[in-house]
Amino acid sequence: MADRFLASRTALVTGSTSGIGLAIACGLAAAGAKIAINGLGTPEQIDAALQAVRDAGAADVRHFGADLRDPEQIEAMMAAIDAWSPLDVLVNNAGIQHAVPLAEMPTQKWNDILAINLSSAFHSMRLAMPGMAARGYGRVVNIASVHGLVASVNKAPYVASKFGIVGLSKVAALEYAAAGTRDSGGITVNCICPGWVETALIEPQIEARRNALGNPDATRDDGVRALLSEKQPSLRMSLPEDIASMVLWLCRREAHNVTGASFPIDGGWTAQ
């Protein structure tokens, strides 16, 4: 039987209609939490995400469709969630990327990436954390990236946003460090910094690397190793469920003194 240690809790996971976010939502659901999901998709995709979270064991699950580029929509979403069930766990996972050289980066892409990857986390945190402090328990987990710790070319707004969310998390961690108690669980703010994670979005890159090997017998695993060889020494990707497991551990009461930290899950990328 699953450990339902979040049975009395409510969690919001942004960008959770697919990929890493959906895996996190399902992990929190399996631990007993009510789940608010947020993200894009067709009605069918959103229904499928809701069903997946329900099947994972959520006490209740609802979709909130705020456009995270718009602070007013974020405020309306947070107010609606608070009226439904006040938040105990906030996972800022939503993110977008556009990879071109700095001089070629469209201004609107810069604005959108910073808004979704960084500013939306600021807005959700400022609205959720006072209530967490009043109740003595709260967990904010910001899904940053290995690019919140090191840079790569052609990713100026993405790297800026991820470095920014690491800094934002440290400030919030300090401001709320003394809230709550060891018994209540306290308020913590941390970042998870994944390297390569196996999601549908990167399948075209794997296939391109496999084809570039020029070997008709090359496998998908050969393509993965070729793709990761430039950055990630383990030569293997994490699964979305691996990221979810770290989120779950950070939500435990025993993690009450783990705050202001950034956890690479990157196969040694940032150890180099």
Buried b (16+ CB within 10 A) or exposed e, 215-248: eeebeeeebbbbbbeebbeeeebbebebbbbbbb
Task: Please report the beta strands in 82-167, taking only residues with DSSP state E, as ranges in sequence order.
Answer: 89-92, 137-143
Q: What does the longest C-alpha to C-alpha distance in the chain come to?
A: 61
Q: Which member of 158, 163, 176, 196 is catalytic?
A: 158
Tokens 């669980």 belong to residue: 185
Q: 186-194 and 262-265 as β-strands: parallel, antiparallel, unpaired?
A: parallel
Asked whether the beta carbons of 267 and 236 are under 8 A apart, the reply is yes
Residue 23's nearest CA partner among 91, 123, 125, 119 is 91
Asked whether the beta carbons of 35 and 11 are under 8 A apart, the reply is yes
Find all residues with CB under 8 Å of 166, minimum gap 6, and list them: 142, 144, 148, 149, 191, 193, 262
176 is catalytic: no
Residue 58's nearest CA partner among 27, 85, 80, 81 is 27
The tokens describing 147, both together, are: 């690019």
Query: CA-based angle 10:12:16, to the nearest 5?
Result: 135
Residue 238's nearest CA partner among 202, 196, 200, 207 is 196
Q: Which residues are catalytic?
A: 158
